[in-house]
Chain A
Amino acid sequence: MHGTNILEEADRLMTVCNSCRYCEGLCAVFPAMEMRRSFSDGDLNYFANLCHACGACYTDCQFSPPHEFNVNVPKTLAIARAESWAAYAWPRAFAGLFARNGLAISLIAALSVAAFIFGFTALHDRQVLFGIHSGPGAFYKLMPHNAMAALFGAAFLYAIVALVMGVRAFWRDIGEPIGMLADPPSLWQAMKDATQLRYLDGGGVGCVNEDERPSDLRKIHHHLTFYGFALCFAATCVATLYHYLIAREAPYPWWDLPVVLGTLGGIGLLIGPAGLLKEKWKRDTDLVDQQRMGMDVAFIAMLFLTSLTGMALLLLRDTAAMGPLLALHLGVVFSLFITMPYGKFVHGIYRFVALVRHARERRMMAGGV
């Protein structure tokens, strides 16, 4: 007996799949399944987070609906995956944020933006708020650097702690001790698999989306999103180092490293999420966990808005719009940070951990550990 109905269904499907195995060449889920003859809750949560939702096994399966065996692995694992994130959420009290996640994220984002705008308005008179500020330290006329660093540092730190606690719960659930992290070859393998999205290619031809014609669009847009996010994050890190190490203050000229990284990342974070949203809209509803549509869209929208407000700030920072735009951008980024542990963002973390687990299992099978 399993903890939830969806895990019961996942167990039923894995029993079907394990007696068929036609899909073993498509991705990592099926080889991982083949290493077992029965499945614990943790095993099923592991498979669910290992699944990249490429949909190939659905299109290739002779038993997918309308067949009476009703085998729909991508959708079942998508639901199990989302339920597992809520189960791992830390602190437990916030697990509820995963239900009606789209609404929750929207409210938190709106409140966060409102708080920044309110704060800016309360603390500054009109001349400062709509004034033209330029040159190093311009942003800090509206919000002192130390206040900014303290607030965002705390939000970021909180997100990290909450994510680490969630991952710890996942680790325990999938029966892999923390020692997994001390296995560099598995980590390296997982890093390669994750950064290349190796398993989002349907075994080589591409992802299945709106029909049986595979394409690489989801993969390309995911790459733009992920690497866009990574570049923006790198821009923030470089800027922090600039500030503390060489006392160079933001805003930086357009040719300076933080701006170049941020601009490239920002472009990726505009095109990537837009593309992902478009593909999601077209996606065959049989493959989708309809109930979590809001969660997916909320995260995509947050990334898009982060980039959009950031790019607007870059373009208009020498105008009177700088103050309101800064409030808007900081509000969006703040809410992105604090909601990270309670939304679609966690998929990347859990999937990476699942990939490490898989790499390690394979090495153990091959006698490499």
Chain B
Amino acid sequence: MVDLSRKFDCLVIGGGNAALCAAISARRAGASVLVLEGAPKFYRGGNTRHTRNMRCAHDAATDILTGPYTEQEFWEDLQLVTEGQTDEELARHMIRESKDILGWVVEQGVRWQPSLGGTLSLGRTNSFFLGGGRAMLNALYLTAERLGVDILYDAEVLDLDIDNGMFLSADLKQGDGRVSVRAATLVAAAGGFEANIEWLKQYWGEAADNFLIRGTPYNRGSILKMLLNKGVQQVGDPTQCHAVAIDARAPKFDGGIITRHDSVVFGIVVNKNAMRFYDEGEDIWPKRYAIWGRLVAAQPGQIAYIVFDASVRNSFMPTLFPPIEAGSIAELAGKFGLDAAALEKTIADFNAAVRPGTFDHTILDDCRTEGLTPPKTHWAQRIETPPYYAYPVRPGITFTYLGTRVNKQARMLMKDGRPAANMFAAGEIMAGNVLGKGYAAGIGMTIGSVFGRIAGREAAQNARN
């Protein structure tokens, strides 16, 4: 049993990658640490459970990475996806620290696997967790337990006692009652608010009812809301989030990785009016993977259909839900309640606009359309070989970007710009500092590990002073 009457050096709220990195780093720096995970043990770790890899800068190839990925290149990629909406000082600091994180997480028991191909061809920039995100979490929890970090599951925080930027205690739900836990420092690593549909509706309106949440139903943003209500400075656009197009048949929550589709580049995407709305061949898929959630969210009814034919049926990853199959375009339209004539026209127009080229989905090839709006600039091939197929897709929200502002020490900043006395933040709850918009694979984990480690270290030092 954890003794909740004692005063801890460091209280970590959250149970994912950032929280555990913070807990381990604080404990290794000599602090007594209590981790409060709001979820039951099986669901511990928030979205980390569903992650697979981490993006880190490195100067040379290693046994898990195929080549160098310099700080400068990482920075350029970040600028590209965020379109400049990032805190440069913080982002560059994170990228510098990420070089060291690759080895540090291994010291905490996490194992990397050599890239075996398959899902994403990112062997140069991203390292893959052996066994995936939950395996990584299991390793971090074992290490934390071994080091003597106290961990409570089902530990819902009801309130935070914060006085003028100074954390004093947290109120914790215990059975029917509540208990107050005191600590010298706070690390908030409790994720975003993507599972809180009511909150999402404040920014998205009724459309949010049609969003599917890819991760844990426990990321309701309650800690974030408490902190913002108690004077912590807000960062990030509340409508920005990591959102991909996922299968419309996926469960409302926690469908994870296996509901995603990577078939977009092999076909076309139409909305419920059977109209195309974006260039499906804009760029190599992993780079544009994360724009399709927002694109679908902007369509009527928040639904779209990836349409392709038999010629590319086996060109992409196998999917959890099989594609809907039909012998003709009209029959396919009928299966989704789309206007058959409209879909036939969209496909006929597309087919007529396709120019001959040499198809190669691994590069930006020369298969494109001409005179079509919107164009398909690469990998355009006629859809003419029956049977025809389609996947229905909806926006799948991974995590939100609205968060708490922090400085390089992962210390929260208050509304008046002063640093908080003893409060730190790491992970998705502060991701918006680095990610103003957009996403590149594996950055969520980089933010979590880098700022988690910093937050833990700084909190331990703060507690001693």
Contacts and interface: CB of A to CB of B under 8 A. Distances in A.
A21 interface: yes
Interface in B132-163: 132-135, 138, 141-142
Given A67-B254, A203-B131, A62 B317 contact: no
A213 B128 CA distance: 21
B256 A63 contact: yes
Interface string B312-345: 0010011110000000000000000000000000
Contact of B50 (A15, A16, A62): A62
Nearest to B321: A19
Given A19-B320, A24-B116, A68-B251, A60 B138 contact: yes
A37 to B, nearest CB: 5
A19 B317 contact: yes
A23 B135 CA distance: 9
Contacts of A34: 118
Nearest to A38: B318
A205 interface: yes
Contacts of B135: 22, 56, 59-60
B7 to A, nearest CB: 30
A16 B251 CA distance: 14
B49 A62 contact: yes
Given A63-B258, A213-B142, A22 B133 contact: yes
B141 to A, nearest CB: 8
Given A19-B318, A66-B42, A204 B111 contact: yes
Contacts of B256: 20, 62-63
B113 interface: yes
B15 to A, nearest CB: 14
A26 B319 contact: no
A67 to B, nearest CB: 7
A131 interface: no
Nearest to A205: B111
A22 B131 contact: yes
| Count class of interface residues, chain A | 20 to 34
A216 to B, nearest CB: 15
A25 B319 contact: no
Of A22, A25, A63, A204, most B-chain CB atoms within 10 Å: A22
Contact of B138 (A16, A59, A66, A67): A59
B387 interface: no
A15 B318 contact: yes
Contacts, number: 81
A69 B253 CA distance: 12
Given A61-B134, A204-B111, A213-B142, A22 B52 contact: yes
Contacts of B138: 59-60, 212
Contact of B111 (A24, A31, A203, A213): A203
A229 to B, nearest CB: 32
A18 interface: yes
B114 interface: yes
Of B119, B131, B132, B142, most A-chain CB atoms within 10 Å: B131
B283 to A, nearest CB: 23
Contacts of A59: 134-135, 138
A22 B132 contact: yes
Nearest to B215: A62
A206 to B, nearest CB: 12
Contacts of B132: 20, 22-23, 60-62
Contacts of B52: 22
B105 interface: no
Contacts of A37: 314, 318
Nearest to B142: A213
B257 interface: yes
Contacts of B141: 212
A24 B52 CA distance: 12
Contacts of A67: 42, 254
Nearest to A20: B258
Contact of B119 (A21, A61, A69, A203): A21
Interface in A1-39: 15-16, 18-26, 31, 34, 37
A116 to B, nearest CB: 50
Contacts of A18: 318
A68 B52 CA distance: 20
Contacts of B134: 59-62
Contacts of A15: 318, 320
Contacts of A57: 131
A61 B257 CA distance: 11
Contacts of B128: 25
Contacts of B119: 21
Nearest to B139: A205
A25 to B, nearest CB: 4
A203 B136 CA distance: 13
Interface string B165-201: 0000000000000000000000000000000000000
Contact of A26 (B114, B131, B258, B314): B131
Nearest to A65: B42
Contacts of A63: 256, 258
Contacts of B421: none
B228 interface: no
Interface in B4-58: 42, 49-50, 52
Contacts of A25: 113-114, 116, 128, 130-131
A21 B131 CA distance: 9
A26 B128 CA distance: 13
Interface string B107-130: 000010110101100000000111
A367 B80 CA distance: 40
Contacts of B257: 19-20, 22
A10 to B, nearest CB: 15
A204 B113 CA distance: 11
A273 B89 CA distance: 61
Contact of A19 (B111, B133, B254, B319): B319
Of B42, B50, B314, B320, most A-chain CB atoms within 10 Å: B320
Contacts of B118: 21, 24, 34
Interface in B84-108: none
Contacts of B251: 68
Contacts of B111: 203-205
Interface in A326-349: none
Contacts of A21: 118-119, 317
Nearest to A64: B42
B131 A62 contact: no
Contacts of B113: 24-25, 203
Nearest to A12: B320
Interface string A305-335: 0000000000000000000000000000000
B166 to A, nearest CB: 37
A204 B116 CA distance: 16
Contacts of A56: 131, 135
A286 to B, nearest CB: 11
Given A19-B257, A25-B130, A25-B131, 6 more contacts: A20-B132, A26-B131, A62-B134, A67-B254, A205-B111, A212-B138
27 contacts: A15-B320, A19-B317, A19-B319, A19-B320, A20-B256, A21-B119, A22-B52, A22-B129, A22-B131, A22-B132, A22-B133, A24-B118, A25-B114, A37-B314, A56-B131, A59-B135, A59-B138, A60-B134, A60-B135, A61-B132, A62-B132, A62-B133, A62-B254, A66-B42, A69-B258, A212-B138, A212-B142
The 5 closest A-B pairs by CB, nearest first: A22-B132, A25-B113, A60-B131, A60-B135, A19-B258
